Amino acid sequence: MSEQRWQLPAAVTLSDELRGLGLPDPLLALLLRRGHHSKAAIETLLDPPAAPDPHRHFRQLRAAVQRLRQACCDAEAVAICGDYDADGMTSTALLVGLLRRLGARPVAAIPSRQDDGYGLNSAMVERLEAEGIRLLVTVDNGVAAREALERAAALGVEVVITDHHTLPPELPPCLALLHPACTPADSPYRGLAGVGLATVLAQALARSCRATAEQALALDLFCIGTIADMAPLLGVNRRWLIDGLPHLRQSSLVGLQALQQVAGLDDGAIDATAVGFQIAPRINAVGRLGDPRLVVELLTTDDSEQALELARQCEALNRQRRELCDAIEAEARALVEADGEQRSPFLLLAQSHWHHGVIGIVAARLVEHYGLPVALLAGEGDGRLRASVRAPSGFAVDAALQSCSALLERHGGHPAAGGFTVRADHLAALHEQLNTLAERWLERQGSSALLEPEALVTLADLTPGFWRELQRLEPFGIGHPTPLLWSSRCRVVQQRELRGGHLQLTLEQQGVNARAIAWRWQGEQTLPAELDVAFHLRLNRWQGKEQLQLELRGLRASSSDTLVLQRRQRRYLVRRDGDMLVIRNAAGEELRGRPSTDDGGALEVEHPQAGHPYVRSLLQEAAMALGLTA
């Protein structure tokens, strides 16, 4: 955290119309900075419109529904080919459970991470056809499996594809294709993950069969898979999460109830944070280390005792996953630290014994710690290594791998994450090319991580009422992240290191105390007398008690009462005089103002030019820099 660069937000002006929404000023300011400039835009965020008729957005949905309805009427065997991540497993469970209830005989067909790799392949198609399968539905994969799809066509196996990964230039051969990119450009379905597409198909099929109860069950699994896959929480995703999350606690899926039990989620509502950090990891652990069909069985069983036993197996695999991650992270950090100050700008670390299923998690941890792009590689046999790549914002992983494609056996990904396979004898040349790309990136953005707090609050602001208003902005995720708040001039009154390397603080500001925690703290043990803190606000539940807690994302020493503000080509001396803001220009002229107690922190200024746009924005920037206004 000591290597972070803070960039404070631009000051904004709040209108009476916006204040009529009832949200606290810091949250209104935050929404304005995120581009929600009108009352109507904020109301749409808080209460999105209902999902439109999917048949108008997915042209081939009708054909898919008709074929699946026929399979249900004929009690036909149908293979559901998913992926081994939480999105793919929940998608598979969703369709397996629904088709079973509607009369078909579904079979889960998920490839092994270790043996088969990602997605549908020709061997799977041949095996399923030999077992009597004549209809196959892909979920969370399929658009890139041209060889397997052509093999299916040759064998007379019909395929319905539901996938959200990048479409190839030539559309895949299939009976029907459901893909967000095939919807209109302004479609609210554009952000769906694999489980969202499975939900569209499942709900349309359930409506066609007049099975209304099954439509609600689809939403339960939609919530889990969408949050786990970090899909953008906008459009239909946001509407369905708002509808579905409040009902997860009482889900009729006994497998979800069992997962909540082993995760210790016994009290309170299940929100996006609980799904993302407590339920989804237990599902993902199975895909990383075990057989994904365990999760499908868990999420489709009607037997409570069986569900609890399967959930305990998920829990055991999740503990194993944590232990593996901790061990690999310790080893990886030792390798980095051995290079001292000569460490590479692109951290590429390889050990043949590392587990493919968890190196992506460890790579993400190293990115957070070092602020550099990271690739961790594990042995694949036959002189090859397989890598997971993660990177900070601004370094495009997919573009970097594409530029090195001549050295890679295969590769894929998106800007923040990716993977590749490489021959061991190409590793040195690959690292050299990636280092060159990382050096150029560091030259453009600087070597320290950028932290961008979104709204200033005081510790006194952080009341149960503020927390309730913050919850109105839920769910948070990609496209609508958890608000990063900050507070100025906090004094550390107590400091304690917790087991696991976490740091717990008690902060005081103008007579108000708050508890804060920095997970996996790696910074200095001696903290400045006064701190500015950037944090996510959380509700901590422990032994039946609830307490608001600051989850720290950044710390810095508070500025002195005087600073220099550079604005365009002019410099100003800015200082605090009690609660008064004083700005002096090069000619020695001064502006004085103090926050109004009646106008949400607006500055009261007595000066002939106080209303001039330049002067007004100067006052706001100076007040923001000194922590006097949101």
Give the residue-averaged pLDDT of 289-294.
Answer: 91
- Backbone conformation region of residue 627, classed left if phi is above 0, alpha if psi is from -120 to 50, else beta: left
Task: Supply φ then ψ for residue 431, to 5 degrees.
Answer: -60, -40
Give the residue-averaged pLDDT of 17-22.
Answer: 93
Q: Where are the beta strands (DSSP E) in 141-220?
A: 158-162, 176-178
Give the residue-averaged pLDDT of 267-293.
Answer: 89
For the chain, what are the domain ranges?
5-10+454-557, 54-248, 339-448, 562-625
580 with 593: CB under 8 angstroms? yes
Give the residue-averaged pLDDT of 597-610.
Answer: 59
pTM attached to this predicted model: 0.83
Question: Would you state the pLDDT for residue 525?
Answer: 66
The CATH topology of domain 339-448 is Diaminopimelate Epimerase; Chain A, domain 1 (3.10.310)
C-alpha 376/C-alpha 419 separation (Å) is 9
C-alpha 371/C-alpha 359 separation (Å) is 17
Question: Of the ranges 75-79, 185-189, 323-327, 541-545, which one carries the lowest mean pLDDT score?
Answer: 541-545
pLDDT band at 166 (very low <50, low <70, confident <90, very high): confident
C-alpha 158/C-alpha 156 separation (Å) is 6
Q: Percent of the chain having pLDDT more than 70?
A: 91
Q: Which residues pair with 431 in a beta bridge?
A: none
Question: Would you state the pLDDT for residue 588?
Answer: 82
Task: Supply φ then ψ for residue 455, to 5 degrees.
Answer: -155, 140
C-alpha 314/C-alpha 327 separation (Å) is 20
CATH of domain 54-248: 3.90.1640.30
Tell me the residue type at 77.
A
Q: Which residues pair with 532 in a beta bridge?
A: 556
Query: What is the secondary structure of 459-495 as a DSSP string?
Result: GGG--HHHHHHHHTT---BTTBPPP-EEEEEEEEEEE
* Cβ-based neighbours of 70, under 8 Å, separated by 6 or more: 76
Residue 600 has pLDDT above 50, yes or no: no
Question: Of the ranges 65-74, 111-120, 541-550, 562-571, which one carries the lowest mean pLDDT score?
Answer: 111-120
How many CA atoms within 13 Å lie on the side-chain side of 7?
Answer: 7
Question: Would you state the pLDDT for residue 572?
Answer: 83
Question: Would you state the pLDDT for residue 390?
Answer: 95
pLDDT band at 295 (very low <50, low <70, confident <90, very high): very high
C-alpha 577/C-alpha 585 separation (Å) is 16
C-alpha 421/C-alpha 387 separation (Å) is 6
pLDDT band at 571 (very low <50, low <70, confident <90, very high): confident
Residue 444 has pLDDT above 90, yes or no: no
Handedness of CA 155, 160, 163, 165 (dihedral sign): positive
Q: How far apart are the first and last CA of the chain?
A: 23
**What are the C-alpha distances in Å from 568 to residues 330, 609, 610, 618?**
46, 19, 19, 11
Express each pLDDT in 461-508 by its tens digit: 999 999 999 999 999 988 899 999 999 999 999 998 888 778 899 999
289 with 357: CB under 8 angstroms? yes
The highest-level CATH class for domain 5-10+454-557 is mainly beta
Question: Would you state the pLDDT for residue 200?
Answer: 97
Residue 261 has pLDDT above 60, yes or no: yes
Question: Would you state the pLDDT for residue 191?
Answer: 93
